[in-house]
Amino acid sequence: MVVEIKESYSIRPAGRHILTIGRDLIQDRYAAIVELVKNAYDADSSDVNIVFKASADRKHYSIIIEDHGHGMSRDTVINKWMVPSTDDKLKRRKSPGGRIMQGRKGVGRYAASILGDDLLLETVADSEKTTVYVEWSSFEKAQYLDEVEILVESGKTDLPSGTRLAITGGRELLTEWDQRQFDKLRFELKKIMSPVSSVLSGDEAKDAFRIHLRIENFLEDQEEIIDEDVEPYPLFDLFDYRIAGRIGADGKGILTYSLQKARNTTEEKIPFDFGGPTGCGELFFDIRVYDREKEAIESLIGRGLKDESGNYVGKLQARQLLNEYNGIGVYRNGFRIRPLGDADFDWLKLNEQRVQNPSLKLGTNQVIGYIQIRSEEQSGLLEKSARDGLRENVAFEKLKAISREVIARLEERRFDYRKRAGLSRPALKVERELERLFAFDELKRGIRARLKKRGVDQQTADEIIQIISKEEEDKNRIAEDIRQTVAVYQGQATLGKIINVILHEGRRPLNYFKNQIPNLEYWFNSFREKRDPETLAKIIPITEGIGKNADVFVKLFSRLDPLAAGKRSRRRPLPLRRTIEEIFEVFSEEMKKVGITAKVNGPGDFRFTCWHQDVYAIFTNLIDNSIYWMNEKKSPKKEITVDIATDGNELQYIDYRDTGPGIEPQLIASEVIFEPQFSTKPDGTGLGLAIAGEASTRNGLELKAFESESGAFFRLQPKSEN
C-alpha cells in the first residue's frame, strides 16, 4: 500500500543567492562601477563622485561612490533597496526629476559585492539619514537568505539629500588594480554616456550629468593624486566623414552625410527606407569615420587633436587614440550597453567585410559610432541580466541589419570621394590601361617635333616614325592577346554568378537518373527472362524520360557554353534580340521562383557583330543584379524590360530597365558603380558592373547608368569618338 503525502513548501533562496545575482553574474568590476553610476543618475543627481583611496601602508582600501540626488527614505531602503529583483524602476519608468530610469532588473546594486568585502550605505532623504552595513561574507556563511541579519539605523539630520556607498577591502583585492585597470575604467566611464544622445533623440532639455574620478595612493608608487572630470575624447568632433539621423519604427527616415575632409562641402540628405518596420523600434544614428593613412593622421592633428590635458598630440598618440577609442556603441536613454562599442567587440562584423573588400568597407578601428535605441517595451531589444550586451533575438538581428545599411550609405560616399580625390589605390581597369599603355600617337608627335627642331631631314624623321609604328603594331598585337585572355577570365568569373542556375536546373535530371536507372536495370533483367510485352511497356517510359532529362543537360550546357569556353571565338554577327532572350532563359527558373517577368523588344532580324561571350557577360551581370535587388527589397512589381533601337544596319542603343529599388543619383553621377571593388550588396565583390563595362568597351560600346523614377536604368550604346 502506497501512502501519498501532500504538503506545500515555500522556496527559500540560499544565503549566497545575493552573491550569485551580484558578484557572480556581473561581467567585471567596470560593469559594477557602471551600474552604481546609473543608480546615481536615476536618483536625479547632477553628478557622481568616484573615489579610489588606499591606506598609507596599502593594506586596506575604500571605493566611494557618492551622488547628490534625492536619496532614499528608511522605508525605501528596507522595502526596495534590500529586496532583490524589485520591479520598482520597471513600474516607475521616470525619476521624480523626469529622467528615464536606467535600472530595470533590481540587481545592479548587488554588483558592489565584486568590488570589495564590505559595503556601507549612507543615504539622506527628507532630513532623515539611513545607514546600512553589509558584510558580503555573511551571505556565504548563511544556509538561507532569510538567516542573514543586516543592521539598519536611521535618524534625523540636517545634511543635504544624496547617497554615499563606501566599499572596503584588503590588500588582496587592492593588488588587482593597476594602471591598465584604471585606463580601462576611465575608458568605460568616458563611453558610458553618449555625447550626442540628446541631439539625436531631439531631447534638448536633457540635463547634464557629470562624472568625477579621484585616485589616491591606489597605484603602486603613485606620487600624485589623480583628480579629474571624465569627458569624451577630444577627437570626437574631428571626423573625416559622418552619417547621422533618425529612422522611425516604420523603417523610414532621413540621414545626413557630412564630409570634413574637404573644404566648402555641403551636407547631403539621404532618404532611407528599410522596406518595412524596423522590428526594433525608433533608432537614432551618429556614425563618425576617420581615415588612417599618414596624411589623414597629420590632418587630424592639424585640425586640433589634443590629449586629455589639452596638449597637442603627435602621430603615434593620435594612432593610439584611434586604436583605443573606436567601435559602434548602442545606447539606451543615453547610457551605453556594454560591451557594444568596445574596440575589440566587432558585433557588426565590419572587419570580416573589410577583409573581402578593403577599398570600400570600413574596419572597426576607423569608426566611432553611436546608436540610440528606445526602451525594451518599445524596441524589443532586451538587455542580458549579466550586463554583457543584448539578447540575440529577432529585434537584435534587425538592429544589426539596419546598422549595416546605414554604414553602407557612408561607405559608398567615402569610396566615391576617395576615388575622385586620388586617396585610394587606383583600381585596374584593363581596357583603359591597355589603351593608355600601348598608345604611341603622343610619343610619335613628340619625337617628330624634336627631330624637326634639331634639323633632321623629313625622310629620316619618317623612317624613325615608321620604326615606332612597327613597334606599336607588335605591342598592340600583344595587347589584343591580353585583352582576349582577360575576357576569358571575366567570362568564367561571370559564370560563377550563375552557379545556382546550374545547381537548380541540373538537380532535377540528376535525381531522375539516380532513381530510374535502378528501375530500368530491374525491368531489363525481367524482360530478358520473360520476353513479355508487359515488361517492355515498363521499360519504354523510363528510357523516354532518360532521353528528355538528358536533353535538359544539353540545353543547359549549350546556354552556358559562351561563358565556359576556354578560348575566345571570333567576333561574328549575332541575332541580338534572340541572344539576349537566350541569356534570360538561363535565369528563367530563378526568375519564376521570385515572380520576375522579362520582355525583350526590338527587330528580330537585326544582327550585331560582337563577341558572344561579352554579350553574355554584360547581360548576365545586369540580370543577376536585378534579381537580387528586386527580391531583396520586395518590389511589388517585378519586371525587366530590354529595348533594342536600330537605324537600318546600325545599333542606336539598348535600354535595360527593371522595377527594383534603383540606384542613388549620387552614385550614378560619379559613375562609381562601374569601379572594381565597389558594391552596394552586403557581401558583393564589386566586379559585376566593372566586368560588364569592360565587355562593352571591347565591342565598341559604352555602358551608362541614368536616373529613373522607378528602378535601375542602363543604356548600352556605340562608343562616341570624343
Q: Which string of DSSP letters, residue by residue, matches 380-417?
A: ---B-TTSSSB--SHHHHHHHHHHHHHHHHHHHHHHHH
- Phi first, then psi, for residue 10 (nearest 5°) are -100, 145
Domain-embedded: residue 508: no
Residues 186 and 243 in one domain: no
pLDDT, residue 128, reads 94
Nearest Cα residue to 632 out of 654, 656, 664, 661: 661
Domain-embedded: residue 182: yes
DSSP percent split of the chain into helix, strand, coil, nearest 5: 45, 20, 35
423, 291 contact by CB (below 8 A): yes
Domain-embedded: residue 281: yes
Residues 579 and 709 in one domain: yes
pLDDT along the chain (722 residues), means of 10: 67 67 69 85 90 89 92 89 68 68 62 84 92 85 78 91 91 81 83 63 58 88 83 77 95 94 83 93 94 84 72 78 84 84 87 83 90 90 80 94 94 87 59 57 75 78 77 66 56 55 57 66 71 72 68 59 58 91 84 92 93 84 90 87 93 94 86 79 74 84 90 91 55
**Residue with cell string 556594454:** 338
Residue type, 553: F
Domain-embedded: residue 350: yes
Question: What is the Cα–Cα distance from 35 to 148, expressed in whole angstroms?
Answer: 24
DSSP symbol at 207:
P
Residues 6 or more apart whose Cβ sits within 8 Å of residue 432: none
Residues 338 and 461 in one domain: no
pLDDT, residue 114, reads 81
284, 194 contact by CB (below 8 A): no
43, 68 contact by CB (below 8 A): no
**Cβ atoms within 10 Å, residue 263:** 6
527, 535 contact by CB (below 8 A): yes
Q: Pick the last residue of a domain from 367, 386, 420.
A: 420
Question: What is the Cα–Cα distance from 663 to 63, expressed in whole angstroms?
Answer: 57
> Into how many domains does the chain fold?
4
Domain-embedded: residue 260: yes
Question: What is the Cα–Cα distance from 306 to 310, expressed in whole angstroms?
Answer: 5
DSSP H or E run through 330: strand 327-332
pLDDT, residue 506, reads 56
pLDDT, residue 200, reads 47
Residues 276 and 299 in one domain: yes
pLDDT, residue 359, reads 81
> With the C-alpha atoms ordered 22, 27, 29, 35, is the resulting torsion angle positive or negative?
negative
Nearest Cα residue to 627 out of 696, 578, 683, 681: 681
Nearest Cα residue to 232 out of 275, 270, 198, 189: 189
Which residue segment(s) compose the domain that 471 sits in? 430-492
Question: What is the Cα–Cα distance from 73 to 522, expressed in whole angstroms?
Answer: 90
- CA max distance for the chain: 131
Residues 251 and 373 in one domain: yes
Residues 269 and 291 in one domain: yes
Residues 204 and 281 in one domain: no
β-strand partners of 136: none
Residues 202 and 245 in one domain: no
pLDDT, residue 507, reads 57
Q: Pick the last residue of a domain from 420, 439, 461.
A: 420
Question: What is the Cα–Cα distance from 501 to 553, expressed in whole angstroms?
Answer: 12
21, 173 contact by CB (below 8 A): no
Domain-embedded: residue 660: yes
Q: Pick the last residue of a domain from 450, 467, 492.
A: 492
Residues 369 and 443 in one domain: no
Question: What is the Cα–Cα distance from 488 to 482, expressed in whole angstroms?
Answer: 10
Question: What is the Cα–Cα distance from 446 to 461, expressed in whole angstroms?
Answer: 12
- Phi first, then psi, for residue 703 (nearest 5°) are -105, 120
CATH number of the domain to which 264 belongs = 3.30.230
pLDDT, residue 459, reads 81
